[in-house]
Amino acid sequence: MKTNNLNFDIAVIGGGSAGMAAALKASEGGAKVVLIERENRLGGILNQCIHNGFGLSYFKEELTGPEYAGRFIKKVEESNITVLLNTTVLSFENEYVLNILNKDGLQQIKAKSIILSMGCRERPPASISLCGTRPAGVISAGSAQKMINIYGKMIGKNVVIVGSGDIGLIMARRLHYEGAKVLGVYEILPHPSGLKRNIAQCLTDYNIPLHLSKTVVEVVGKDRVEGVIVAPVKNDFSFDLTKKEFIPCDSVVLSIGLVPENDLAESAGVNQNPITNGALVDEHLQTNLKGVFSCGNVLHVHDIVDNVTKEAERAGENACKYIMSSLNTSCPFFIKNGFGVRYTSPQKFYKGDGILTVNFRVSNIFENATIVVKTNSKEIRRIEKRILLPAEMETVIIAKKNIEEDIEILIETK
């Protein structure tokens, strides 16, 4: 670990898939880069994702999480990037001083530009007002994954899963492989929150029941979970307690969503999007603070790591352009959410040539619908879709040439 020279062009905070990809691109562009990770190794969440399904689009191969991370770790090791492990960034101040903490104590790093890639954390039980006692046996899906995959410890024998996000689905299959009985996945919404492929490969293939519009309203148990009370969810999201039932179980796994790990950025003054809880960014992935870029799950929760990598590479390239004063930020236009679009990332772009990549999520399920990109004066793109799902991130690529006003992205139904 080289910490004697603490002046860098670009400081990348977080050494998961986003941080590694951003750091590599920035380093390839000639910048002096430091990559700071609070854990004792690079790779982030991928280290505990031992299932396959990673890299299909980026490497055209199906890899496990550690294999995907390993390819980038090797490249980082072969590069000139300074890697600080076991080091937490506590805060950063203007133009840009980062306060870091590691075994050498508190130190400061100076950088001309910062890339935020701190990933996200799991929502706690309090965020869904889960009633009942707090016995042992209630665990978040990511923590259960870490217990089993990293520490080799089982969490229980009869498990109920709350929420049908991808982590919950993957854990349903993992628990089944480890010999537990997965009694069911309970989803408050009328549609699954995870990817279609995960519903098929993690639940259907193993006859694990998925209950839509039904949720756990109470955890029962004194020292250890003894069961849960489940009830149907009405259209107004109240519970139909006349139909509640008791399911005996010894463990409850919560897969109730992820929140970008943005406290650090928020306290530094980075403006946040209240829908994604990630930063508001322009097409360069630059936040309202000049030279501060954001990418990966800390920007908005991604379902596929390949998209994280591609987005982070853009952040790395743009941070390089920023330090060389060649980032075009003149003549801004805005991207509005039209009908059916929950959020877009970015929210702003600039007049010029080249292409604009917009990631977005829909707010509902739409079948046989059309994604429409338009300005006030003309329609720019139209993409027919057999199905659009809130669980699956969509991307539109738009040629910017001749666009001289704000654009809107909306869903047209037949």
Ligand X SMILES: Cc1cc2nc3c(=O)[nH]c(=O)nc-3n(C[C@H](O)[C@H](O)[C@H](O)COP(=O)(O)OP(=O)(O)OC[C@H]3O[C@@H](n4cnc5c(N)ncnc54)[C@H](O)[C@@H]3O)c2cc1C
Q: Residue 231 Cβ, how far from ligand X at the closest point, in Å?
A: 27
Q: Please list every residue from 159 through 218 that binds ligand X, using CB under 6 A.
A: 166-167, 170
| Positive/negative CA dihedral, 231, 233, 236, 237 | positive
User: Pattern 31-60, binding to ligand X, x per CB under 6 A?
Assistant: -----xxxx----xxx--x---xx------
Among 23, 203, 305, 373, binds ligand X (CB under 6 A): 305
CB of 1 to ligand X, least distance (A): 14
- Judged by CB under 6 A, the number of residues near ligand X is 36
| Binds ligand X (CB under 6 A): choice among 284, 302, 361, 400 | 302
Give min distance, CB of 147 to ligand X, in A: 13
| CB of residue 21 to ligand X, shortest distance in Å | 8
Shortest Å distance, C-beta 321 to ligand X = 22
Contact positions with ligand X (CB under 6 A) in 81-140: 88-89, 117-119
- Classify residue 101 as exposed, middle or buried by CB count within 10 Å of its CB (0-12, 13-18, 19+): middle
Out of 113, 145, 294, 344, point to the residue binding ligand X (CB under 6 A). 145
Looking at the Cβ atoms of 36 and 407, the one nearer to ligand X is 36
31 vs 46, beta carbon nearer ligand X: 46
> Which C-beta is closer to ligand X: that of 218 or that of 306?
306
Binding range to ligand X, per CB under 6 A, among 11-19, 199-207, 333-341, 382-390? 11-19
Residue 374 C-beta: closest distance to ligand X, Å = 30
Q: Can you tell me the distance from the alpha carbon of 94 to that of 362, in angstroms, rounded to the nearest whole number? A: 36
Question: Where along the sequence are the contacts to ligand X (CB under 6 A)?
Answer: 13-19, 36-39, 44-46, 49, 53-54, 88-89, 117-119, 142, 145, 166-167, 170, 261, 264, 296-297, 302, 304-306, 308
